[in-house]
């Protein structure tokens, strides 16, 4: 549990000058990437892009350069006390968050694995081409995932953002995996259509790697203390405590950045019976107030390490789906199996989650003003399902639909050995 690996303080002229050079380098590299990756007009006969003209390269370089300017400007505003043109900044320095490192590492692992699998899926030169295309797709999927995960986070926490809409554009706040999955899927579907690749075949290849990346990303959640579990009974051996303001960085220095679990519990006015882990909305014999307990102890109550539960489950799902590839009989079989498998995994883990910030039926009813109905669905009730559990139900149904529909369609077609398209 290491929320921040290290924090670089830009408190000298030299350090700030170096950071400005890095920002300029980011803009230059973004423009160069746009220039290098430009494509010419689509040939109507072949459906392939022709050689780009100098104007094509210029337009794409300018577009990517502007994206780089936006990213560099955001970084300067966040890290420095004052920024030319922008004005006063947040002066937060450059904190290296463990969450970002592990989530980013998971994304790189997933893309690398998908590229490797593409070369096995399509033999010869076509496999190399598809690998490069998947590496190009990774950029668009990253943007789609970030937008989708942020949008769903805002939706499930809309009550907080409705009171202050400016927080929507704040760098603070969280991300939701299901939102990222939806955003990435829509982006991949658009990209597959644009590049004339069968979406279900692409999804069969990519979905196992999503589990691989997510398994590492959940370790990032564990380090940051987000997506934490429900309070565990005092004698539960697998329970963990997340740190408060005394959280240390990799060098043992107090970073002053408490875990997200601690921040939430320090304002939680509910009550808990330590011996059993039972949470109640009012005081009962033997109970202590959650906020008071965590403030006195400097860390959270013992909670289930749900991030670790899901990480192990995702790695297992990845291995199972990879083994299933040589038994495929139709495109969409791996996708449908993943949708069902992850829906079951996520719904099971959600039973142990304790972060009410993720959105629940109780919160939705209260937000809609249906307070009388909300009281019939207590926050602590097992049937107070979360937004993620509702999405899991829909996702499981979609997985079943894909498998049944594709299996029925297969009966009307000649038998195709998909294993010939990939090495086992």
Q: CB–CB of 345/317 below 8 Å?
A: yes
Q: What's residue 308's pLDDT?
A: 96
Closest CA to 299 of 287, 308, 290: 290
Name residue, tokens 């096995």: 120
121/253 same-domain check: no
The pLDDT tens digits of the residues spanning 235-248 come to 888 899 999 988 87
Q: Are 8 and 15 in contact (CB under 8 A)?
A: yes
Pick from 33, 58, 92: which residue ends a domain?
A: 92
- Shared domain for 113 and 214, answered yes or no, is yes
Give yes or no: residues 141 and 222 share one domain.
Answer: yes
In terms of domains, do 167 and 59 share one?
A: no
Q: Do 61 and 104 lie in a common domain?
A: no
CA distance 418 to 327: 8
Q: State which residues form the domain around 71.
A: 1-41+49-92
* pLDDT < 70 stretches in the chain: 1, 47, 156-175, 255-256, 357-358, 364, 367-369, 382, 413-424
Q: Are residues 273 and 171 in the same domain?
A: no
The pLDDT value recorded for residue 52 is: 87
Do 252 and 364 lie in a common domain? no
158: three-class secondary structure by DSSP: helix
Domains of the chain: total: 3
192 and 316 inside one domain: yes
Given 271, 303, 335, which residue is the final one in a domain?
303
User: Are residues 329 and 191 both part of a single domain?
Assistant: yes
Which distant-in-sequence residues (6+ apart) come within 8 Å of 36 by Cβ? none
Q: Based on the domain organization, do 121 and 87 belong to the same domain?
A: no
Looking at the structure, tell me whether residues 294 and 359 fall in a common domain.
no
Q: Domain ends where: 242, 277, 303?
A: 303
Same domain, 416 and 331: yes
pLDDT at residue 68 in the model: 93
């Amino acid at each position: 549990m290491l929320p921040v690996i290290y924090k670089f303080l830009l408190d000298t002229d030299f350090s700030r000058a170096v950071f400005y050079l890095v920002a300029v380098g980011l803009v230059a590299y973004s423009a160069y990437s746009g220039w290098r990756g430009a494509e010419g007009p689509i040939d109507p006969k072949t459906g392939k892009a022709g050689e780009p003209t100098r104007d094509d390269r210029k337009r794409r370089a300018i577009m990517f350069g502007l994206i780089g300017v936006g990213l560099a400007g955001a970084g300067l505003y966040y890290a420095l006390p004052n920024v030319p043109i922008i004005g006063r900044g947040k002066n937060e320095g450059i904190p290296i968050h463990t969450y970002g490192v592990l989530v980013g590492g998971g994304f790189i692992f997933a893309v690398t694995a998908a590229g490797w699998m593409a070369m096995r899926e399509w033999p010869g030169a076509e496999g190399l081409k598809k690998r490069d295309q998947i590496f190009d797709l990774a950029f668009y999927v990253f943007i789609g995932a970030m937008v989708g995960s942020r949008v769903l986070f805002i939706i499930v926490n809309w009550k907080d953002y409705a009171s202050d809409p400016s927080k929507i554009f704040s760098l603070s706040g969280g991300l939701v995996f299901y939102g990222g999955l939806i955003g990435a899927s829509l982006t991949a579907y658009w990209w597959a259509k644009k590049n004339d690749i069968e979406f279900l075949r692409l999804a069969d290849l990519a979905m196992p790697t999503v589990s691989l990346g997510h398994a590492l990303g959940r370790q990032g959640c564990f380090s940051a203390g987000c997506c934490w579990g429900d309070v565990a009974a005092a004698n539960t051996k697998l329970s963990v405590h997340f740190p408060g303001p005394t959280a240390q960085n990799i060098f043992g220095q107090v970073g002053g950045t408490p875990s997200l679990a601690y921040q939430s519990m320090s304002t939680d006015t509910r009550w808990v019976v330590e011996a059993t882990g039972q949470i109640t909305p009012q005081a009962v014999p033997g109970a202590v107030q959650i906020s008071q307990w965590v403030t006195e102890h400097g860390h959270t109550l013992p909670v289930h390490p749900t991030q670790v539960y899901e990480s192990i489950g995702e790695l297992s799902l990845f291995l199972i789906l990879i083994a299933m590839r040589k038994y495929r009989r139709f495109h969409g079989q791996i996708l449908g199996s993943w949708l069902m498998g992850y829906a079951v995994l996520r719904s099971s883990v959600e039973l142990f989650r304790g972060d009410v910030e993720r959105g629940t039926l109780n919160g939705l009813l209260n937000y809609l003003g249906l307070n009388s109905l909300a009281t019939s669905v207590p926050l602590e009730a097992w049937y107070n399902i979360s937004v993620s559990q509702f999405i899991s139900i829909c996702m499981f149904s979609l997985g079943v639909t894909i498998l049944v529909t594709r299996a029925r369609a297969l009966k009307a077609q000649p038998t195709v050995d998909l294993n010939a398209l990939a090495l086992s």
